Amino acid sequence: MVLGLRRFTLRTRLCLIVAIILAPALILAGMLSLRSIAAERIHIEEGLGRTLSHLSVEIDREIQSTTALLVVLARSHYLQIDDLEGFHRYASEISNELGIQIVVHRPQLDKRVISTGVPWNETPELTMPAVRLEAEQQAIQTGKTVISDVFFGPVSQRLLVSAIMPVMRNGTAEYVLSIGIPIRKFSEILENAPPGEGRLAVVLDRSNTVVARSEKSELFAGTKVLSEFADRTSGTEGVLDHTNREGIPFHWVFRRLQRTGWLVTVGVKTAVLDASARTTFAYTATAGTTLFAVAIGLTFLLGGRLEHRFGTLGIDRRPTREEFALFFDSAPNGVVLVDHNGIVLLTNAPLERMFGYTQTDLLGQPVETLIPNQLRAAHVEHRQAFVRSPVPRVMGTERNLLGRRKDGSEFPIEVGLYPITIQTAQYIMATVIDITERSRAAKALSNALTERNRLRRHLMRSAEDERLRLSHELHDQTGQTLTAATLAAKEVENFVDADGRQRLTKLNALLDQMGRTLHKVAWELRPASIDELGLAAMLDNYVTDWSDQTGVAAEFYGKGEDIDNLPDEVRTTIYRVIQEALTNIAKHASEANQVSVVISRAGTVLQLTIDDNGDGFDLAEKLGTPSKYGSLGIPSMRERLSMIGGTLEIESSEGIGTTVFARIPIEPEEALL
Amino acid sequence: MKDKTRIVLADDHPIVLTGLRNLIESEPDFAVVGEATSGPEALKVIRDARPDIAIIDISMPGMSGIVLTRRLSEEAKDVKILMLTLHEDRAYLKQALDAGARGYVVKRSAAANLVSAVRSVIAGGIYIDPAIVHRVFSRSPVSNRVPMPEVRDLTDREVEVLRLSSLGLTNKEISHRIGVGVKSVETFKSRGLAKLEIQSRADLLRYASQVGWLADI
Give the domains, in start order, of chain B with CATH numbers. 5-136 (3.40.50.2300), 142-216 (1.10.10.10)
Question: d(Cα B18, Cα B38) in Å, to the nearest integer?
Answer: 15
Cβ–Cβ pairs < 8 A, chains A and B: 163
Query: What pLDDT, on the 0 to 100 scale, is given for residue A126?
Result: 65
Average of per-residue pLDDT across A152-169 = 84
**Do residues A466 and A510 lie in contact, with contact meaning Cβ atoms separated by under 8 Å?**
no
Of residues B94 and A124, the one with the higher pLDDT is B94
Count CA atoms closer than 13 A to B48's CA, side-chain side. 10
Residue B104's pLDDT band, with cuts at 50, 70 and 90, is: very high
Once rounded to an integer, what is the mean pLDDT over residues A192-198? 78
pLDDT value, residue B150? 60
Interval B190-211 mean pLDDT: 84
Q: Check whether B140 has a pLDDT greater than 50.
A: no
Distance in angstroms (rounded) separating the CA atoms of residues B20 and B111: 8
Mutation target among B70, B86, B146, B189 for the A interface, most CBs of A within 10 A:
B86
Count of all residues that appear for chain B in the document: 217
Q: Does ipTM exceed 0.95? A: no
Mean pLDDT of A625-633: 53
On the question of pLDDT at B129 being above 60, the answer is yes
DSSP state of A478: I
Among the residue ranges A93-102, A361-370, A387-396, A527-536, the one predicted with the least confidence is: A387-396
Q: What is the per-residue pLDDT for A51?
A: 87
pLDDT for A669 equals: 45
State the Cα–Cα distance between residues B149 and B168, nearest whole angstrom. 22
- pLDDT per position as a tens digit, A13-43: 888 888 888 888 888 888 888 888 888 888 8
Which of B23, B89, B193 should be substituted to probe chain A, the one whose Cβ sees the most A Cβ atoms within 10 Å? B89
Residue A209 phi, psi (nearest 5): -95, 140
Instruction: Please give the pLDDT value at position A629.
Output: 47
Query: Is residue A638 scored above 70 in pLDDT?
Result: yes
Determine the residue of chain B that is closest to A662 in CA distance: B168
* Chain B residue nearest residue A611, CA to CA: B201
The answer to whether the CB of A307 falls within 8 A of the CB of A301 is no
Q: Rounded to the nearest 10 degrees, what angle do helices A568-588 and A634-643 cross at?
A: 170
Residue among B20, B90, B170 minimizing CB distance to A651:
B170
pLDDT band for position B84 (50/70/90)?
Answer: very high
Q: pLDDT tens across A108-128, in order?
A: 776 667 788 778 777 666 677
> How far away is chain A from the Cα of B168, in angstroms, using its nearest Cα?
7
Measured CA to CA in angstroms, residue B43 lies from A607, B36, B106 at distances of: 40, 9, 21
User: Over the stretch A128-145, which tens digit does the pLDDT of each residue have?
Assistant: 788 888 888 888 888 888
pLDDT of A394-419, one tens digit each? 765 556 788 899 898 988 888 888 88
Distance CA A355, CA A334 (A): 9
- Which among B15, B91, B186 has CB closest to A533? B91
Say how far apart CA B23 and CA A515 lie, in whole Å.
19
Mean pLDDT on B167-180: 89
Whether B93 shows a pLDDT value over 50: the answer reads yes
* B108 neighbourhood in chain A, CB within 8 Å: 482-483, 486, 511-512, 515-516, 519
Residues pairing with A612 in the sheet: A595, A658
- pLDDT value of residue B82: 94
A58, A189 Cβ separation under 8 angstroms? yes
Q: Are B139 and A557 within 8 A, CB to CB?
A: no
Interface residue B139 vs chain A (CB under 8 A): yes
Q: Which of these, A391, A394, A380, lies nearest to A343 by C-alpha position?
A: A380
Q: Give B141's contacts in chain A (Cβ within 8 Å).
A: 553
CB contact residues (below 8 A), chain B span 185-214, against chain A: 186, 190, 199-203, 205-206, 214
Report, as an integer, the average pLDDT of A137-154: 85
Contact A491 B171 (CB under 8 A): no
pLDDT tens-digit series, residues B55-75? 999 888 888 899 999 999 888
pLDDT, tens only, A169-186:
877 878 888 888 888 888
DSSP A126: P
Nearest to A571 by CA among A514, A527, A619: A527
- Rounded to the nearest integer, the mean pLDDT of chain B is 85
Q: Which of A473, A480, A539, A601 would you mutate first to test chain B, the one with the most B CBs within 10 A? A: A480
Rounded to the nearest integer, the mean pLDDT of chain A is: 83
Q: Is A581 exposed, middle or buried (0-12, 13-18, 19+ CB in 10 A)?
A: buried
- A439 near A424, Cβ under 8 Å? no
CA-based nearest residue in chain A for residue B15: A484
Interface test with A, best of B22, B26, B108, B143 (most A CBs within 10 A): B108
The whole-number pLDDT of residue B142 equals: 47
Cβ distance A555 to B172 less than 8 Å, yes or no, reads: no
Give the confidence band of B2 by pLDDT, cuts at 50, 70, 90.
low
Which residues on B lie below 8 Å from A601 (Cβ)?
217
CA distance B59 to A532: 8
Assign A544 a pLDDT band (cuts: 50, 70, 90): confident
- Give the 3-state DSSP-derived string for A222-238, with helices as H, strands as E and coil as C: CCECCHHHHHHCCCCEE
Interface test with B, best of A473, A477, A487, A601 (most B CBs within 10 A): A487
Using the predicted structure, report yes or no on whether residue A671 has a pLDDT greater than 50. no
- Dump strand ranges (E) for A472-539: none
User: Is B163 a residue whose pLDDT tops 60?
Assistant: yes
Segments of A78-153 assigned E as strands: 101-105, 113-115, 146-147, 151-152
Say whether pLDDT at A61 is over 70: yes
pLDDT-based confidence at A670, cuts 50/70/90? Answer: very low
Greater confidence (A298 vs A621) lies with A298
Record: contact A487-B172, CB cut-off 8 A = no
Give Cβ neighbours of residue A32 (< 8 Å, ≥ 6 apart). Answer: none
Question: What b/e string do you get for A600-637 counting C-beta neighbours within 10 Å, with b at 16 or more?
Answer: bbeeebbbbbbbbbbbbbeeeebeeeeeebeebbbeeb
Q: Which residue from A580, A572, A589 is spatially nearest to A634, judged by alpha carbons? A: A580
Tell me, what's the pLDDT at B40?
A: 93
Give percent of chain A above pLDDT 90: 4
pLDDT at residue A419, as a whole number:
86
Indicate the burial class of A79 (C-beta count within 10 angstroms; 0-12, 13-18, 19 or more). Answer: buried
Q: Is the pLDDT of residue A465 over 80?
A: yes
Interval A511-515 mean pLDDT:
87
Can you give the pTM of this predicted structure?
A: 0.50
Give φ, ψ of A414 to 5 degrees: -120, 135
pLDDT band at A667 (very low <50, low <70, confident <90, very high): low
Count the neighbouring beta carbons within 10 Å of the beta carbon of residue A149: 23
CB contact under 8 A, B23 and A487: yes
Contacts of B217 in chain A (CB under 8 A): 600-603
* Per-residue 3-state assignment (H helix, E strand, C coil) for B174-202: HHHHHCCCHHHHHHHHHHHHHHHCCCCHH
**Closest residue to A486, CB basis, from B11, B111, B142:** B111
Residue B217 has pLDDT above 50, yes or no: no
Structure confidence at residue B1 (pLDDT): 42
Q: What local confidence, expressed as pLDDT, does residue B51 receive? A: 94
End-to-end CA distance of chain B: give it in Å, rounded.
65
Return residues 151-170 of B near A (CB < 8 Å).
167-168, 170
CB contact under 8 A, B186 and A508: no
| Residue with more model confidence, B131 or A621 | B131
Q: What is the sign, positive or negative, of the torsion defined by CA atoms of B44, B45, B50, B54?
A: negative
Q: How far is C-alpha B149 from the chain's CA centre?
A: 32
- Interface touch A529/B92, C-beta < 8 Å: yes
In a 3-state reduction of DSSP, which class is residue A162? Answer: strand
Q: Which of B19, B201, B217 sits opposite A487 (nearest CB)?
A: B19
Q: B44 pLDDT band (50/70/90 cuts)? A: very high
CA angle B209, B215, B217 (to 5 degrees): 110
Residue A252 near residue A267 (C-beta atoms within 8 A): yes
Q: Please determine, for residue A280, whether its predicted confidence score (pLDDT) is greater than 80.
A: no
pLDDT of residue B141: 47
Inter-chain CB proximity A600 and B16 less than 8 Å = no
Contact A547 B140 (CB under 8 A): yes
By the CB < 8 Å criterion, does B86 face chain A? yes
Q: State which H helix or E strand residue A523 sits in.
A: helix A498-525
In this predicted structure, what is the pLDDT of residue A673?
A: 39
- Picking from A483, A540, A541, the nearest residue to B16 by CB comes out as A483
* Short-list A449, A447, A451, A457, CA closest to A567: A457
Which pLDDT score is estimated for A94? Answer: 86
* pLDDT at position A2 over 60: no
Q: Which contiguous run of DSSP H or E holds residue A216?
A: none
User: Which of chain B's residues have a Cβ under 8 Å away from the Cβ of A501?
Assistant: none
DSSP three-state, residue A350: helix
Contacts of residue A509, defined as CB under 8 A and 6 or more positions apart, other chains included, come to none
- Is the Cβ of B215 closer than 8 Å to some Cβ of chain A? no
